[in-house]
Structure 1
Amino acid sequence: MNTSRIAVVTGANQGLGRALVEGLAARLDEADLVLLTGRDPGRVEAAAREVARAPETRARVEGRVLDVTDTAAIAALADELRASHGGVDVVISNAVARVLPDESQSARADEFIDVSNVATHAVLRSFGAVLRPGGRLLVVASSLGTLGHLDPRLHPLFDGASLGEVERAVESWRGAVHDGSAERAGWPRWLNVPSKVAQVAAVRAVAAERRAADLAAGTLIASVCPGMVDTATSRPWFSDYSQAQSPRQAADAVLDLVLAQGADPALYGELVRFGKPLPWRDGTPLTEQDRLLTP
């Protein structure tokens, strides 16, 4: 078995994903391998080539086409890495579908949910099964992923839920968006809120099942909030970017978590921002924000 470290980053053509690949490539060793993944072959090839040639790069960098909405492809890549390397050491699930403020949230719901949630569930299942002892499996979410941002009627769907129950809650939400009952049931109009809560709940569900064994092995599963990042995806939503980080700055705190020795029990299964856990039940529903959005 090849004992070099293997890292996989999804949604890595640009923005935070690419910065995470760049940071891993600079901070891992020459024998290690970083897979930069995305769904556009040309962009994947170009980004991987540029990162590989950067003067600070030490690890090997390869591009790999991966459409995260294809759950079979996620499973196939995990199986391939198990067969060729005995598993994987770092997985950062970062892919997100871009939605602009003037676009219909309901019209974009399927793509958004498939990229942000269905893919997250598949990554947790497929790569969680091949994560080597001492590994890291991180899902990029946001501070909107705390339970308090949802209407209290929806809390039982996610609080203490299993991964299967989270999946069913996400599909119930999707159905409510399409049949027009979502707002009556308490779902926010802004897709990002229930999507992020569901991502964090999915991580918590998987972590709850594995906690004892993972902590004994120094393995960490968590969701991460990188803070405000100046990217093409987030820029249209905010008028003031004076406090925003560059993708490279935002990647640093995530990479510190990846490369820390052992697994901190206080961070295991939690939503982590700048090295500290955010309270799961924190936040308040963003009803005023919702009123500003296009139906």
Structure 2
Amino acid sequence: MITLVTGATQGLGLALAEGLAQRLTPQDTVYLTGRDATRVAAAVEAVPAGGAQVRGEVLDMAGPVDRFARQVEERHGGIDVVFGNAVMRIGPDDEPRAIIDEYTEVNNFGTTRLLNAFAPVLNDNGRLIVVASSLGTLHHLAPVLHRRFTQPSSVDEVDAQITRWRDDVKAGRFGAWPAFINIPSKIGQVAAVRALAAQRRETDATRGVLIAAVCPGMINTPTSALWWDVSTAPTPAQAAGPLLDLALGPARPEHYGELVRAGEVLPFS
């Protein structure tokens, strides 16, 4: 089995890579990726010995993700599990207008690059899972903005809506948009998953492929602690468990194209 985790040098991403390595065999490969070579190497060293082979690779989600996907296909013929976990984190003191370009480039356009690059190289029974959030539901967005994320029928159309939102933020035109930029970003991620899944649903059903977004819930990490009291929240390793179950267990048709938390679907709208 060939697996990949993006944003895997710390927190949930590292826990997912460690969990895959523990659950798989020495004949399997886990690609542990991040954009900093030093941190990737340190993360690989931190993974306990035994289980799958852990291979560190530099992968910048703002860069040529499709090239890396082709390399994986050339080496292995395809891929079985992809976790899209790369994210640019924000703190309460960050100014949205100052960071929105980099933020969308990694979190949103990076997600769609991953979807476009790895969906075509998924093996039968493959899993393509984007780590999102319960904030990625329309419940958190003003109704006047809902159609921007329900009408797109392709990943490119979702990208166009994210571009419009990004430009509004840069220009200070927040209007009905929430001030917390994580909300539209997460909704955009889930909308992209839904758009891709709608195009592939029939074919993927015959091949046992699952494309989904996943909500890991609140996690006790330093970044989350900047916003909330996470002292009683699960550790990254604990939060990774249900995500690994989703990736390595039988595909459930009701999960396809949806946002899943602890095995249950969170309605988009």
TM-score range (shorter-chain normalised) is over 0.9
**Which residue identity is paired with 2:59?**
L
Indicate conservation of the 8 Å contact 1:15/1:232, yes or no: no
Q: CA deviation at 1:124?
A: 0.3
Q: CA deviation at 1:189?
A: 1.2
Aligned to 1:103, the other structure's residue is in SS state: coil
Give identity over the alignment, percent: 51
Take 1:232 and 1:124, find their aligned partners in 2: how far apart are those partners? 28
Q: Which residue of 1 aligns with 2:257?
A: 269
Q: Does 1:172 align with 2:172?
A: no
Q: Which residue of 1 aligns with 2:132?
A: 141
Q: Which residue of 2 aligns with 1:204?
A: 194
Indicate conservation of the 8 Å contact 2:44/2:56, yes or no: yes
* Cα shift readout 1:1-33 (whole Å, capped 9, x = no counterpart): xxxx11110000000000000000000121010
Take 2:222 and 2:68, find their aligned partners in 1: how far apart are those partners? 28
Q: Which residue of 1 aligns with 2:58?
A: 65
Q: Which residue of 2 aligns with 1:230?
A: 220
Q: Does 1:28 align with 2:14?
A: no
Q: CA deviation at 1:149?
A: 1.0
Take 1:169 and 1:12, find their aligned partners in 2: how far apart are those partners? 28
In the TM superposition, 1:84-95 aligns within 5 A as 84-95=75-86
Q: Which residue of 1 aligns with 2:148?
A: 157
Q: Which residue of 2 aligns with 1:286?
A: none
Question: Of 118, 128, 132, which residue of structure 2 is paired with 1:127?
Answer: 118
Unaligned runs of 5+ in 1: 282-295
Q: CA deviation at 1:46?
A: 1.1
Take 2:124 and 2:202, find their aligned partners in 1: how far apart are those partners? 12
Indicate conservation of the 8 Å contact 2:220/2:232, yes or no: no
**Which residue identity is paired with 1:47?**
A
Q: Does 1:99 align with 2:87?
A: no
Q: CA deviation at 1:233?
A: 2.3
Take 1:112 and 1:195, find their aligned partners in 2: how far apart are those partners? 9
Indicate conservation of the 8 Å contact 1:157/1:165, yes or no: no
| Structure 1 ranges of 4+ moved more than 4 A | none
Indicate conservation of the 8 Å contact 2:220/2:231, yes or no: no
Normalised TM-score (structure 1): 0.89
Question: Of 51, 61, 66, which residue of structure 2 is paired with 1:75?
Answer: 66
Q: CA deviation at 1:217?
A: 1.3
Aligned to 1:78, the other structure's residue is in SS state: helix
**Which residue identity is paired with 1:62?**
R
Indicate conservation of the 8 Å contact 1:106/1:177, yes or no: yes
Q: CA deviation at 1:106?
A: 1.8
Equivalent pairs counted in the alignment come to: 268
**Which residue identity is paired with 1:21?**
A
Take 2:82 and 2:28, find their aligned partners in 1: how far apart are those partners? 14
Indicate conservation of the 8 Å contact 2:86/2:107, yes or no: yes
Indicate conservation of the 8 Å contact 2:12/2:240, yes or no: yes
Take 2:149 and 2:258, find their aligned partners in 1: how far apart are those partners? 14
Indicate conservation of the 8 Å contact 2:96/2:169, yes or no: no
Take 2:88 and 2:115, find their aligned partners in 1: how far apart are those partners? 18
Take 2:222 and 2:164, find their aligned partners in 1: how far apart are those partners? 30
Q: Does 1:280 align with 2:268?
A: yes
**Which residue identity is paired with 1:172?**
R
Aligned to 2:254, the other structure's residue is in SS state: coil
Q: CA deviation at 1:194?
A: 0.1
Take 2:162 and 2:11, find their aligned partners in 1: how far apart are those partners? 26
Q: CA deviation at 1:180?
A: 1.6
Q: Does 1:219 align with 2:209?
A: yes
* Cα shift readout 1:125-155 (whole Å, capped 9, x = no counterpart): 0001111110000000000000121111111
